Amino acid sequence: GEDVEQSLFLSVREGDSSVINCTYTDSSSTYLYWYKQEPGAGLQLLTYIFSNMDMKQDQRLTVLLNKKDKHLSLRIADTQTGDSAIYFCAESNPRNGGSQGNLIFGKGTKLSVKP
Amino acid sequence: DVKVTQSSRYLVKRTGEKVFLECVQDMDHENMFWYRQDPGLGLRLIYFSYDVKMKEKGDIPEGYSVSREKKERFSLILESASTNQTSMYLCASRTQGMGNTIYFGEGSWLTVV
């Protein structure tokens, strides 16, 4: 079955890099996503990566994908207090929900940034 | 910009009441979803719909039903609310096709007393 695992908490100091890790089990997943949820709000898409890529960079965000190990990471450079949030890893698979492709989410990693 | 609007941000209902959570999207998306989010459990899919009048059960459909009479609107119904349905409910939508982004509403906090 499909499962997405991520650690529940991460604490870093302002200005350091944060690395949030995720593992998934379904090797046929074609897209992998990172969503951010600020307190009291819904989820917003941060970035996504197609499974034939191994890296994607977008300003302070770097996504690394190791398809062999089914490992995904999100690196946030120069972490700021405004980055404090819950970060969800998710995979998209056409076998979930038929051809429309549901997302399977991890439980979320709560990132705390200390000044 | 895509907008997914959940009509109620905060609700308090009594046990046994019928509860409607409404969600509207303005981007003509085919697919719509209802999730619930609980601490330590992440997001769990309740129901989704890939077309008007179509619905599919997600991982935790028990105690819930849905309605999709119009493409832009997807309603979640709790026929008889119970305290274990106290949670944050998130609506989402996307267009069909692999890789297309799911957009979320701001969430509805439901407390059942």
**Per-residue pLDDT tens digits for A14-62:** 999 999 999 988 777 678 899 999 988 889 999 999 888 899 999 999 9
Asked if residues B63 and B78 have their Cβ atoms less than 8 Å apart, the reply is: yes
pLDDT at A26: 75
Which residues have C-beta within 8 Å of that of residue A53, sequence separation ≥ 6? A65
A97·B4 Cβ contact <8 A: no
Chain segment A65-114, per-residue pLDDT in tens: 999 999 999 999 999 999 999 999 998 765 554 444 578 889 999 999 99
A30 touches chain B (CB under 8 A): yes
pLDDT at A36: 96
B98·A101 Cβ contact <8 A: yes
Phi, psi (degrees; rounded to nearest 5) at A54: -115, -10
B104·A44 Cβ contact <8 A: yes
Residue B99's pLDDT band, with cuts at 50, 70 and 90, is: low
Q: List the single residue in A42, A92, A102 with the smallest CB-CB distance to B45.
A: A102
Closest residue of chain B to A31, computed from CA coordinates = B99
Q: Which residue has the higher pLDDT, B57 or B98?
A: B57
Tell me the C-alpha distance between A64 and B71, whole Å.
36
Look up residue B71 and give its two tokens.
């493409």
Angle, alpha carbons A102-A4-B41 (nearest 5°): 90
Q: List the single residue in A42, A50, A105 with the smallest CB-CB distance to B99.
A: A50
Residue A48 with chain B: CB contacts under 8 Å: 99, 101
Q: What's the sign of the alpha-carbon dihedral A104, A37, A5, A24?
A: positive
Tell me the C-alpha distance between A87 and B17, whole Å.
34
Region B33-61: what's the mean pLDDT?
91
Residue B46 with chain A: CB contacts under 8 Å: none
Give all strands of the β-sheet with A4-6 in edge-to-edge order. Answer: A4-6, A18-24, A71-76, A61-66, A55-58
Tell me the C-alpha distance between A105 and B75, whole Å.
22
Tell me the C-alpha distance between A6 and A26, whole Å.
15
A97·B43 Cβ contact <8 A: no
